[in-house]
Amino acid sequence: MTGVTVIGGGLAGMTAAWTIRKLGVPVRLLEAAPELGGMAGSRVIGNRVEDHGVHIFPAWYGNALRLVEELSIVDNLRECDNFYQLMPGEFPTFRTFRSLFTLGDFVKDIRSGVTPAADRLLFYYGLIDLLAQRYEGRDESLHGFLHSRWYLTDTAIADIEHLFVASSAAESQAASAASFRGSIAAFSRQPGRVRMPKGDLDTWFIGPFRRRLEADGVEVRTGVELLEVSVDGDRLGTITLCDGDTVIEEVNGHVVLAVPHGRLSGLGRAVTRALRPPHGVDELCSRPLGALHVYLRRRLPGLPDEHIRLVGSRHAITLIDVGQVWEGHRTTLLNCVVGRVARLAELSEAEAVKVLVEELMGYLPVLTWDDIEHVCYQPHFAEPFFAPGPGSDQYRPVSSTALANLHIAGDFCAAPAGVAGMEGAVRSGLAAAESVRRALRPDAPRVRIDDIGTVSPSAARGLRVALAPVAAAVRLLAKRPRGRGAAATAGHDLDGQP
């Protein structure tokens, strides 16, 4: 039987290889880096295993969580109940925000004091208003949506923007409102607990995944780089690979390209014209999302062991003290996501670390430079994350192409609005496997791909209309005109773009 070569050993490529092999098709998986996992993996830096960032599995990551079940590694994840919010000058007092499972959770969040209750109510009304939008065939920036709403205060806008920036790489001006709506709808429909690995992702997810691939007969090779491809009529002709010092040119059967969209563009017009749609992949954008791992010589007192959002953080920092929950750690290890890492692009690594650590110290006064044993800073300027921009969905390619033996995978591929990241990668790997199935095993059952839940714009519109008088009254209670002073009162940063 014709075999399949999957090029790219990130989560999309691994999922494609896993699913294609279950069809009974021979598969080999090639990755240029020393290890698999890509942006969902880890690297050894200074004899330490460092994650690419902080990784979470929300309940709506249906395909990713089903993959976890198939790999029999459900016990490698832990459930998280709370999100903690730390205001400047309030340590060790944290405002607790539970996942919204009940009306009581909602009331507790409103009364948490992270922002004034009126602004927090407007925050939620803004999300309802976003869910009421119909974005079929149109889109706008998240910034444009927020600043066109009559009822939103600057404090409520900053709250929504931080919610987005802390979990993505884009500021609101460059973010798709339709995409943000999709993720909010998914969270609304499936509001279960977030899960996190019990240690670094390579040990608890990617490593076990690789072992299952190899045990099932997938040939896995790392250190093999794709140099170029050729097209012969309606088929992919040859692929040229570099394996160490050896350059190999091969005539192949079916190929799954599970590489970043920028790498895909670099393969030339013969390939990009074969994509569906045949134009636009060059319009897709990725942006850096930074990671800062701070190893301490002691355990800092007073820190919870779940997500902490630093309210008003200039660099949109969220963090977790994974030293409390990861095996083998007796001291604090702060794993931080730096949402606005682009602001540090002109600084040296030492200067950027100093800025970020001093910001942490501003929120955690018990932290001193003497406490710090080691810092790992990964700005990922050369390894950006796909960030759906306004109108980008029309450019995201489907997994099948006009070349009969070429298939595409990656979190930038076509998906319901709001799907990117790990769920997008897994979903695209499944879609690429389905494209291969149609070509090589049309007799086999379709590859299962679960869609995320959504919220009807009509239902949300009805709720928006019903609550409009409440929103108007609350807006008057806020007694805060738009302007810098409003957000400054709540400790929010309103500086411009990086």
Six-digit token pair at 445? 């059952």
pLDDT in tens, 289-337: 999 999 999 999 999 999 998 988 999 899 999 999 998 899 999 999 9
Confidence label for 97 from pLDDT (cuts 50, 70 and 90): low
- For 360-378, give one letter per residue: b (16+ CB within 10 A) or e: bebbbeebeeebbeebbbb
Per DSSP, the three-state class of 249 is: strand
Q: Rounded to an integer, what distance in angstroms lies between the CA atom of residue 436 and that of residue 439?
A: 5
User: Higher-confidence residue: 101 or 23?
Assistant: 23
Q: Rounded to an integer, what distance in angstroms lies between the CA atom of residue 281 and that of residue 264?
A: 8
In the chain, where are the structural domains located? 4-75+197-276+397-440, 102-190+455-489, 290-338+346-378
Map 394-432 to HEC letters.
HHCCCCECCCCCEEECCCCCCCCCCCCHHHHHHHHHHHH
Q: Judge whether residue 2 has pLDDT over 80.
A: no
Q: Which pLDDT belongs to residue 488?
A: 36
Q: Rounded to an integer, what distance in angstroms lies between the CA atom of residue 317 and that of residue 307?
A: 11
Superfamily the domain 4-75+197-276+397-440 falls into:
FAD/NAD(P)-binding domain (3.50.50.60)
Average pLDDT score over residue span 97-112? 63
Report the Cα–Cα distance between both ends of the chain, in Å, rounded: 52
Q: Judge whether residue 486 has pLDDT over 50.
A: no
pLDDT in tens, 71-80: 999 999 999 8
Mean pLDDT across the chain: 90
Q: Judge whether residue 133 has pLDDT over 80.
A: yes
Kind and range of the H or E run holding 477:
helix 457-478
Confidence label for 105 from pLDDT (cuts 50, 70 and 90): low
pLDDT in tens, 374-409: 999 999 999 898 989 999 999 999 999 999 999 999
CA distances from 446 to 316, 334, 433, 443, 452 (A): 42, 43, 9, 9, 18
Nearest-10 Cα torsion for 304, 306, 307, 308: 0
278, 272 contact by CB (below 8 A):
yes
Average pLDDT score over residue span 21-50? 92
- For 194-214, give one letter per residue: b (16+ CB within 10 A) or e: bbbbbbbbbbbbbbbbbebbe
Cα atoms in the 13 Å half-sphere on the side-chain side of 302: 12
Q: How many CB atoms lie within 10 A of CB 278?
A: 13
Confidence label for 498 from pLDDT (cuts 50, 70 and 90): very low
471, 124 contact by CB (below 8 A):
no
Our CA angle for 378, 382, 386, nearest 5°, is: 95
User: pTM (2 decimals)?
Assistant: 0.92
Work out the percent of the chain whose per-residue pLDDT is above 70: 91
